[in-house]
Structures are given as C-alpha cells and as structure tokens.
Chain A
Amino acid sequence: MNDPDEPSNALVRPYAVTRGRTRPRVEIAIEALVETTARGRDASVVGGREQQLIAGLCALRVQSLAEIAARMQMPLGVARVLVADMAADGLVAVYEPTAVGDDAVGTELLERVLSGLRRL
C-alpha cells in the first residue's frame, strides 16, 4: 500500500493467490512451525508459485507462520490460508506451539526456555 507503483487495490490483491478465500481450512497460530514434507519437496506435486516458494523456504529450516508471511511479503492471513491448504495436501507439516497453560507441560516448557536463555 505504501508503494505508489503497486496496484492499489489492497483488498483484492493479497487474497488473489487464495482465489479470494480468507478463511484457512485449519487455524494456524502465528508462531506455529512449518516444515516441508518429503512429498512437498517434489516440485511436480506443488501447484502455484507461492506454494512452491513456501515449500522451498520451509525445506531449508522450519519456519513459523509469521516468518513465512514476512519472507513472502504477504499478509499473515494470506500465508495462513496457503499453509493450511498445503498441510491438507500433505506438502508441509505444521507443528503447533506449546501453549503455557496451567499444566505440567507448561512448567516443563518454561524450565527449558529458562535454561536455554541462560545458555545464550
């Protein structure tokens, strides 16, 4: 929207790559990690330029949904629809974040984060 040379229709352009769909098939958290599967590494089965770029990006190292959106220079909502489609097609694996709830999982996570920070 900031670049006057870009087509200015901010409503249509971002979601053109999702054919206008704004709702993802599954909700994916902003910090959820995405990794390209063996199937997703086979370029012949990945349709669409954006999906191919995402498959390439997440084959090198796992990336969060936020990183995919930032590196693809697309709004978060667009990246979420594309990644959800790719997950449904088995092209990427989506790893949900560990939410810090009131359970032992949360405590263990906090302890791991703490020792990791101390090692930095």
Chain B
Amino acid sequence: MGFGGSDEGYRRPSGRVTSSKIVIAGGFGVGKTTLVGSVSEITPLTTEAIMTSASASVDDLAGVPGKSTTTVAMDFGRITIDQDLILYLFGTPGQTRFWFMWDELVRGAIGAIVLVDTRRLADCFAAVDFFEHRGLPYLVAVNCFDGVQLHQLEDVREALAVGAQVPVIPCDARSRESTKQVLITLVEYVLKMRRGAVAPSR
C-alpha cells in the first residue's frame, strides 16, 4: 500500500479519502437518533466525551480526585457519498450546557438541521441561537407523524423568529426518503447562500 512520503502517516484532504459532517440538533426525545438512523448505513453509534462539572476541559482533571464528571453522549451515523468521501451525521448532546461539545461538532460542518416537535418548540430555541451566533447555516425540520399543515410551518417560523430565508420544512424522521429530502434541502440552501442568492441568516 502506497502511503507516500509522510513520516507521520498524516494526510491532507488532497489525499485518498476525506469526510464532512452535518449536525442534527433539537430537544431531548425529538427524534434526532431516529432521523440519523433512517438514512445511516451503520446502526447509529454513540460516542462519549468526559467533562468535569466545573470545567469544560478534560485536561483540568489531572490530579483532582473526587471532582465529579459528566459523560456527554452523541449519536452519529455515516453515509458513504463516494469511494473517497464520507458524510457523518452527528446528533448534538441534548443539554445545551454542553456547549464545549457543540463547538467541536460545528467546526467545519456543512450546516445543521434543527429538528422540532411542535408540542415542545422551546426545546430548540438554544440550538437556533447557537447556530445563528456561529453563522452556521441551518434549517428547521418539523417532525410530524400525522402530516403537517402549511400554516403550522409558518407558526413555527414565527415562534422561533427565524428569518424568511431559513427553510422550515416538514419531515418524518422515521422515513429514509424524508430524511434524504431534508439533507438535500440543507445542502441546496447552503450552496444558494454561497452563491449569494440568499442573505446569510444573521
């Protein structure tokens, strides 16, 4: 196997494979993992990060026995886009106090999907705030099991106070086809924004 001249085995994106990611946010129990699982080629996996109750950095743990720790879990899935390009879908940790993990998740991401349950709209306020503050493109996907009316989508837009340019679309997180459409809508929106057809969301 030819790995070229790098002594450390470290490759730049011009190498053989690369990856990208989309962030899935929303309140606890809204269906983030269901959405990821509906389109992922692997059963959603869970990865964990450790933090202390007092600090965002695990490095501060050294030699501090008894300090309480919290484990933050994230579910994620994988879609092979091409032989040399893999897309990951990361569900954000439900609790917004784990911002330190969100920072890493949004770095370099294509964009975000805010999954919304109309009965618990307030659960996603923090996520919308976060993405707007970061300038990360996002759309709002309203998870509905019994279909949704257009006026409900506009009610959600108004309640979240998101700009007219931000897509607010219905979805069924259980459906592969529906999730696929949500992802396509997000990437199309990001491309449009880059081409200047849509004003940034902030």
Contact = CB atoms under 8 A, between A and B. Distances in A.
B28 to A, nearest CB: 17
Interface residues of A, number: 55
A106 B87 CA distance: 14
A75 B21 CA distance: 20
B15 to A, nearest CB: 5
A116 B71 contact: no
Interface string B1-22: 1010011111111011111110
Interface string A14-27: 10000010110010
A77 B50 contact: yes
A106 B64 CA distance: 43
Given A106-B194, A112-B81, A22 B180 contact: no
B65 A11 contact: yes
Interface string A43-75: 000000000000000000010101101110001
Main secondary structure of the interface of B (DSSP, over half): mixed
Interface residues of B, number: 61
B13 A97 contact: yes
A93 B81 contact: no
A102 B11 contact: no
Contact of B18 (A10, A95, A107, A120): A95
Contacts of A70: 45-47, 76
B85 A113 contact: yes
B138 interface: no
A99 B108 contact: yes
Closest 5 CB pairs of A and B: A99-B108, A116-B81, A70-B45, A93-B9, A97-B19
26 contacts: A20-B62, A22-B61, A31-B90, A33-B19, A37-B3, A37-B9, A62-B86, A66-B45, A66-B76, A69-B48, A75-B50, A77-B50, A77-B58, A87-B10, A88-B9, A93-B10, A94-B9, A97-B21, A98-B13, A98-B20, A100-B109, A100-B190, A106-B194, A110-B191, A117-B180, A117-B184
Interface of B: 1, 3, 6-13, 15-21, 39, 42, 45-50, 58-59, 61-62, 64-65, 67, 69, 71, 74, 76, 78-79, 81-82, 85-88, 90, 104-105, 107-111, 176, 180, 183-184, 187-188, 190-191, 194
